[in-house]
Amino acid sequence: MSLSLPAFRRKWSCRGYMSLGAAMVTVVLGLADRAEARKYGSPLDIFGIAAPRPRATVHSANVSGKIPLPRPRPEEAPKASETDDKPSADKPGAPKPAEAAPPPEKQASACRLALTEEIAIAPSIPDIRGPGACGGEDLVRLEAIVLPDKRKVAVKPAAILRCTMASAIADWVRKDVVPLAASLGSTISDLDNFDSFECRGRNRVVGAMLSEHGKANAIDVRAIKLANGQSIGLTDRTMPREVRERVLHSVCSRFSTVLGPGSDWYHEDHIHLDLAQRRNDYRICQWNVWDPLPQVAPLLPAERPEEAPPREVAAKPEAKQGVDDEAAEKSPAPGDKPAADGNKTQPHKPATKKRR
């Protein structure tokens, strides 16, 4: 293949010379840099072509086995707080944070502070939040009443009441019932609790206004039992009227509502007591103390006295007597048989009404 100079120039222009020169310079510089680059490891040297990286010189202190210690803390530096020594919650060994503190205890009311164990055994119970307005606050369970001589009057069963109502019951028993029992020659031992707290309407009528029993502000008392075994039934007509009247006057002076026999037929066998608050301190005392029943009920009329004149018997009129004689003649004799079976006569029966 022959190539002339003009053709060579046309094929390899000056631009080609410059490209060739630049390539040669690049190769020379690359060889020089390669020798320098062998001193350091290349991150892309996956085949280990480059020269190994020289190890760092070991200090004489480490060779001798001595470990350098930190400098002492200067005196003017602030002291580390105590919280720095405690592990933080983020560290794995740190204890779990404490739970939220419980709410502070509710302060005792003045009634609760006054109703001590020297007056009544009445432990406090939690507040009751029932449906509607049922329940209340400052509640106690009245188990017994402590008399001035340290004897206890059991409340059977224990009554759940507001503290104010329990305190009123304790004062009534200590100041009024104890002298009453002493006048009967004995001491009080039990208080018959017929009903105390119960979430219901008045007289247990559905839809009625909430009873004071639903507010733990009422108690139903049926009887007072004495130590000698005697029971004073507050609605018992066999009890002396004077005893029941003394109880009536004592409760009506202490409680705002007293319902007993005569108020309605719901309170014929017990006495209802409560401390309902009304406008102008209005009070209700409805309890009729009935007279005792007679020992012998008048089932039959009294016998006619012997000195009474004899009863006169009215004579029959003559006309009526003649009619009666004719009717007696027409009536068949008792032994006669009827002429035919179809003419049997039935005895006359008085007409009576059917009961429903």
Give the torsion through C-alpha atoms of 120, 125, 127, 132, to 10 deg: -80
61 vs 32, more confident: 32
Examine the pLDDT at 175 and tell me if it is beyond 50.
yes
Q: Which of 241, 224, 245 is nearest to 233 (CA)?
A: 224
pTM metric for this prediction: 0.56
Mind listing the pLDDT tens digit for each residue in 201-220?
898 888 889 999 999 999 99
**Per-residue pLDDT at 312:** 77
Please compute the mean of the pLDDT values over residues 65-71 and round it to a whole number.
74
Per the structure block, which two tokens stand in for 139?
């509640």
CA–CA dist 287, 299 (Å, integer): 29
- The percent of residues above 70 in pLDDT, for the chain, comes to 60
CA–CA dist 173, 213 (Å, integer): 20
Compute the radius of gyration of the chain from its Cα atoms: 58
312 vs 336, more confident: 312
**Per-residue pLDDT at 140:** 97
297 vs 240, more confident: 240
Examine the pLDDT at 256 and tell me if it is beyond 80.
yes
Query: Which amino acid type is present at position 220?
Result: D
Highest mean pLDDT among 64-68, 335-339, 342-346: 64-68
All residues at 6 or more sequence positions from 339 whose CB lies less than 8 Å from its CB, including other chains: none
Mind listing the pLDDT tens digit for each residue in 96-140?
556 666 667 778 899 999 999 999 999 999 999 988 889 999 999
CA–CA dist 137, 128 (Å, integer): 7
**Per-residue pLDDT at 106:** 76
**Per-residue pLDDT at 2:** 54
Q: Which of 11-25, 57-71, 175-189 has the lowest mean pLDDT?
A: 11-25
**Per-residue pLDDT at 326:** 58
